[in-house]
Structure 1
Amino acid sequence: MTIRRIAMWSGPRNLSTAMMRAFSSRGDCAVSDEPFYAAYLAATGIVHPMNAEVLASQPQDPHEVAADMLGPVPSGKTVWYQKHMAHHMIEGFPLDWMDHVTNVFLLRSPERVLASYAQKREEVALRDIGFAEQARLFDRVAQRTGKPPVVVDSEDVRRDPHRALSALCAAIDLPFSKAMLSWPKGQHPDDGVWAPHWYGAIFESTGFAPPDDKAITLPDRLRVIADQARPFYEAMAAHKA
């Protein structure tokens, strides 16, 4: 039996939970929601919404988490979709396990990420949205494999989910399933304990929302961060399908 482990690397507010829903709708796929979150909070001392609940819900040792990512697939499935936040992988956290999974990078423009993130958390810095860390992991995978990893843009997914997900599955040699295009409303049993704070829109969804083409106007404090993030975004976006 062939086991497929897919590590999807993104930052927050990147359509990452909707993508997790899409994969969880497959009959052959288990999903994990930000498994390094508690380890990240414990190591940095950063305080996030529902901080105590997150810390209590997951292992805080990053080496234990890394070993888990290569362990038995939950529920005996043959595909394991692991939703990872790139900024959780701080210096000192193990990365060798990445060599044994299929790494995919999910992007969204910094401006749209920041406009969404600021609605959920008042204080925000470049490190909170993960673009620099995502680019560092992207470069690592490219150097190790000799080619750029697969890149998916969230706006492309929203614009044409069938086409984008079909292309993604083809790129990682996974059969596409139309089940990925929809899901039931509400919370998923594999959502992290932080879901009530962050996933309100997903709870009300049954599929990918159409793209929001409205222009984004950011206050100066967020515009500075967007400008810092954009070179990292553009370097990865140059390789999207």
Structure 2
Amino acid sequence: MKPVRRVAMWSGPRNISTAMMRAWENRGDCAVSDEPLYAAYLAATGLDHPGRDEIIAAGDTDAERVATALSSGPAPGGQPVWYQKHMTHHLLPGMSTAWVHGLSNVFLIRDPAQVVESYLKSRATVAPPDIGLLQQAALFDEVAERLGKAPPVIDADDFLRSPHAYLQALCERLGIAFTERMLAWPPGRRGSDGIWAPYWYEAVWRSTGFEPWRPRSPRLEGADLAVAEACRPAYERLRACRLVLG
């Protein structure tokens, strides 16, 4: 079996994670997996997410079996690069993370106030564990300790100001050749999209590239603001380690 470069992008919801998946899939030498632990997460937690029953029926609910395939199995289609789009909160308490260290791990972060505001457009309520930042910080610490240095961290706000430069820098950091094919892709659905895509991916289906950067000023109050602020220390700690260009 040929060596496979396994890139795991650890994000929370309502980030640019699906657009990032499009960029990698458009390379031509890269297989992608869309939230491969989602079915196991829903089955274990009992949470009522949109399309829950379909997701569980279509996916593998054995998290350990999924993890083994992701870390040591062949890449889909025999591709030399395998991009795995992960939601960090899908790593449930008690689940071994030893397999993660066989991947090239990258952390994709976004200001928690922006995440909470976007999340509440599709869900009635939100709690700190729902947006993944606390779990990102814990996994980041584990990966950094094993590596002896900080793994790459990409802040979505920085990235959207200069996708070309950040993708080029990230590929260089990962030892993977950059191609400008990562900057644009045809619109529409993909066979690689998770079965939950109709509930979340409408904007990505219309897209042909990363959205232009624009300033955002979320307006949160009460419990929603408290959720964002509970996650802010984790965000700021990760942001201090983010990839900064020139």
Asked whether the 8 Å contact 2:23–2:185 carries over to 1, the reply is yes
Equivalent residues in 2 for 1:188-199, closer than 5 Å: 188-199=190-201
In structure 1, how many angstroms separate the alpha carbons of the residues matched to 2:186 and 2:220?
33
Equivalent residues in 2 for 1:7-156, closer than 5 Å: 7-69=8-70, 70-156=72-158
In structure 2, how many angstroms separate the alpha carbons of the residues matched to 1:217 and 1:124?
15
Secondary structure of the equivalent of 1:203? helix
- Is 1:208 aligned to 2:228, yes or no? no
Following superposition, the deviation at residue 197 of structure 1 comes to: 0.2
Following superposition, the deviation at residue 212 of structure 1 comes to: 2.4
Following superposition, the deviation at residue 211 of structure 1 comes to: 1.5
Structure 2: 5+ residue runs without aligned partners? none
Asked whether the 8 Å contact 2:114–2:216 carries over to 1, the reply is no
Aligned residues: 241
TM-score, normalisation: structure 2:
0.96
State the AA in 1 paired with 2:41.
Answer: Y
State the AA in 1 paired with 2:227.
Answer: I
In structure 2, how many angstroms separate the alpha carbons of the residues matched to 1:12 and 1:127?
11
The percentage of aligned residue pairs carrying the same residue is 50
Structure 1 residue runs of 4 or more that deviate by more than 6 Å after TM superposition: none
In structure 1, how many angstroms separate the alpha carbons of the residues matched to 2:95 and 2:168?
33
What's the C-alpha RMSD, in Å, of the aligned pairs?
A: 0.9
Secondary structure of the equivalent of 2:154? strand
In structure 1, how many angstroms separate the alpha carbons of the residues matched to 2:48 and 2:38?
11
Q: Which of 235, 238, 243 does residue 236 from structure 1 map onto?
A: 238
Moved more, 103-112 or 1-10: 1-10
Structure 1: 5+ residue runs without aligned partners? none
State the AA in 2 paired with 1:205.
Answer: S
Aligned to 2:221: 219
List per-residue Cα deviations over 1:168-209 (Å, max 9, x = no partner).
111111111100001111111100000000111101110001
Asked whether the 8 Å contact 1:86–1:133 carries over to 2, the reply is yes
Following superposition, the deviation at residue 214 of structure 1 comes to: 2.9
In structure 1, how many angstroms separate the alpha carbons of the residues matched to 2:98 and 2:49?
27
In structure 2, how many angstroms separate the alpha carbons of the residues matched to 1:141 and 1:238?
16
TM-score, normalisation: structure 1:
0.98
Following superposition, the deviation at residue 92 of structure 1 comes to: 1.9
In structure 2, how many angstroms separate the alpha carbons of the residues matched to 1:100 and 1:29?
18
In structure 2, how many angstroms separate the alpha carbons of the residues matched to 1:162 and 1:91?
36
Asked whether the 8 Å contact 2:128–2:230 carries over to 1, the reply is yes
